[in-house]
Structure 1
């Protein structure tokens, strides 16, 4: 009976040894957990067989106590069975430790790989070109702030994985080289994500600045459209008063242009500063602000040309006004000069002589005015004035009066 029980226990032990002669430690959390479940089942069987082993040992003690003829064999056989079972227990404890170590590694690996996969998805968002479309840029900035918060909220997860990895390496875990590579990869990916998030945030803020600049540029070009429209006017005034009013308006316009040029230079400097600070669309910004100044500079020529045209118009209308004044004076004095009345008596005759002297003095005075006016008209004609024909006709009116 003793030998039969020893053989049965050894048979069970042999089965356990065969089960433990298995090096697979799993390649995932799920597979390791399944192996641990099977291992716990084995340990439960070993625990359940402890009573049988104790009874077997007590039986051996009883046989030896009763001075069985095979007492030395019984003691040796009992010790061999117990030692073999103890060896199985040790193997089981070692395998449990390795499985638990494998579970730690696989859990850390799963968390790291899930984190890396999450980082990959977020890097796609962080590296997109949505900042180049300035539509709804304010809303995009709000979304990015939420994105930054989401990424920041995962920093503790990365820190925890690093902590677990450091602990495994510190314990000289059998997967330490893989743990080290995995942690390094995670940290590299994480650093790239944080850099990409920061870059996108900066680019979105740059895009917001650019949109603000574009609004200013649109307003500036609208103002230049307005100035261009005024400068394209061919109205030069129909008389002296009208042309003086136009000159006054043009002087106001020139003053406005002078002030506006300062504002445009500020816009230009703002754009240049954005470009110099590394704006992602620096070339376009430099081009647009330079084009704005160039367009404004292009208005200076037409502004000068219009002032010159208005001044020429003023000269013509001033001449016409002066000639008309002289013609009116001639018309007023001509009846007096051509009068044949010599007075009916001495007193009237003396008065008429006095008036004649006054008229001659006025004629002498106006002769200089008339001559100066005609000379001015002739000078305008020689200068190729646009109203030369009208000026000539006007001067001839004086000569024929």
Structure 2
């Protein structure tokens, strides 16, 4: 099949699946389980009214986002001829389409013209069902995808997008972990810092409560879908005295041992960041895929060790997996497939059979164990593959027999053999 034919195939599939997604969030096609769109029509719209009046939700503990999230919540105001919820879904569709365009272009620039990244995005997003269009995480993911794809040629633009993404939801800062050493890293980090500081200062000076979210986040516990929650799901069958309650905007476990597990999650996150630091110091082999692979690994570790693995978090991983697969030399193919599998299970876990998860019945426990097990396996595989491809010997080096520094020049690649640390 020709390159144009492959592009038409992925775009056609994208269009068909997105029509179905729109029909689900608009209520035309019912999806079993709770209505996931109430976050938009009730919570987001309530925040919209406050933000439009010039203040953050100071007394709402469910507001747990950096100040840049206000931009996503206010965005439906750009379409005043639609209801708030409908405008939000239309914007999500437009952002989805833009992200696909970026990935199709990136795929087309690679030798062979394979549409791996575009297909991962096309297939992975609808695997989350209506939730993906009913949360603003799609917008954050789009900024992250754009930042990574711009990194090689335009590091300052990439850094600015990272800074914007961080003001939307913090985690895009992890995209900087794999930037090539030298000027690229300095330019990207400087642009990210300048953008984040400038936007933060603007919000702080113009709107009260810009950083109230920090206190609300600190009080979070162990959410019922996190890796650590499986312990309490099983413990409920053994007489554990805790309970499941809506707490700080999410359904969490409360009771004996919860604080210990929450602290253990923080320790795991800190340990993961320590591993990333060691990797960064020891990595010697950088290819065009390395920044993508490292970003995917970092966000995967951050997600798996989080006290909260909400369903919409999966779109972060789908987006970064798609970017990885735009590069032939990526070390993350198997981890990307594991993430796609986990995303499909997430749709079953929420919203379709969410009641089983809330009640910790055997089906709910099985779904969570499978989803979180797939994520944990993906994280471990991702770390090993990244390490082997950039630091030590192993399967990851089979595809990169010589250490190469790959730089983008125009629409082609040039590579230069390098020795030692880069």
TM-score, normalized by length of structure 2? 0.15
The structure whose residues are more often helix, as a share, is 1
Larger RCO: 1 or 2 (CA < 8 Å, sep 6+): 2
The structure whose Rg is larger is 1
TM-score, normalized by length of structure 1? 0.16
The structure whose residues are more often strand, as a share, is 2
